[in-house]
Amino acid sequence: MEHLPESQKPISPTQDTPVHDTPSDTEHKESMLGEIIRFSLIALLIVLPIRVFIAQPFIVSGASMETTFSTGQYLIVDQITYHFEEPKRGDVIIFRYPKDPSKFFIKRVIGIPGDTISISGSDVTIINEAHPEGTRLEETYVHSMRPSATITENLGEGEYFVMGDNRDASSDSRAWGVLQRENVVGRAFLRLFPFSKVGAFPGAHDIATEMTL
């Protein structure tokens, strides 16, 4: 009976043998890794500019805008529109808190450049070129506003007067003064949560239609 040398003996299927990648396996894995890296870079290049310049998420916290907005509601902020036009009365905007720019507030624009805002009791009056005698706002969006001392504020270029809809629980222009244009981040564009209140331009209100002569 012929005996084969040890080096020529067939290998039993049950015998453990080291497995080595063939060149094609290695190339395939490198190709997959390259695709993942490329996809990640492309996604980053798309998402980052959108997040920084066009839109970003914002989660409402606090009671200052109730009942228009409540804590936990998820918004998408439009950051591009105000590069081409100015905020309008009634817009719901997100901005950096002037006293601490690391914090973001959500309020409603009440006064714009050129306005004089007069608050007496719970009445808000706007005086400007179109309304030199003043016009009192009929603010249907206001949740609560206790009478307070009279406040008068003249708004110059790039200055806005903002207030929360729940004014008894709002820190706004009545407390810390006018909002400078450079602090405005954008306007509320989409409400994505809760699902029962999903919609575009949530809370937006055309105050001009309520200004009477």
Catalytic annotation, pick one of 7, 31, 61, 64: 64
Report d(CA 166, CA 63) in Å as an integer. Answer: 7
Q: Angle at CA 165, nearest 5°, toward 159 and 171? A: 60
64 is catalytic: yes
Catalytic annotation, pick one of 9, 70, 107, 118: 107
Contacts of 94-100 with C-beta under 8 Å, sequence gap 24+, read 94/58, 94/184, 94/185, 94/186, 94/187, 94/188, 95/162, 95/179, 95/183, 95/184, 95/185, 96/183, 96/185, 97/183, 98/176, 98/177, 98/179, 98/180, 98/183, 99/176
SS3 content of the chain, % helix, strand, coil (to 5): 25, 30, 45
197 is catalytic: no
State the catalytic residues. Answer: 64, 107
